[in-house]
Structure 1
Amino acid sequence: MTISSLQERLGDPAIGNNPILRLIAGIIFMHEQDYNEALKRTNEGGTMDLYTTLGAQSMK
């Protein structure tokens, strides 16, 4: 239920580009071992936190 709600929010153009939401989504998808989705949500960068999460994904 959480993943589907998260994907719905990420698909909303009004809030889907929020860097904090994208960071949390990347962490959740990494935890779920859905690395493709995690990369999709964090590779746009924009903040040091997103770049750090992207680097952590690359090392997995």
Structure 2
Amino acid sequence: MLTGIGVSTPELAAAVVDLEVVDGVVVGSPLIRALADGGLRTAAGLVGEFAASVAGSRGR
């Protein structure tokens, strides 16, 4: 199962992925905001933060 409504930070993504019933998180609005506010590098950095947070959360 995927979720994404209300997941706006890497910390929230990690917390949601820790739930047994969630397999992944769809993140859209925070990335679009980062792209609009800071460009591609900012958005790419945020993708890295989300990925690291979720990867670090799995298996705890």
TM over 0.5: no
Give the TM-score normalised by the residue count of structure 1. 0.35
Give the TM-score normalised by the residue count of structure 2. 0.35
Greater gyration radius: 2
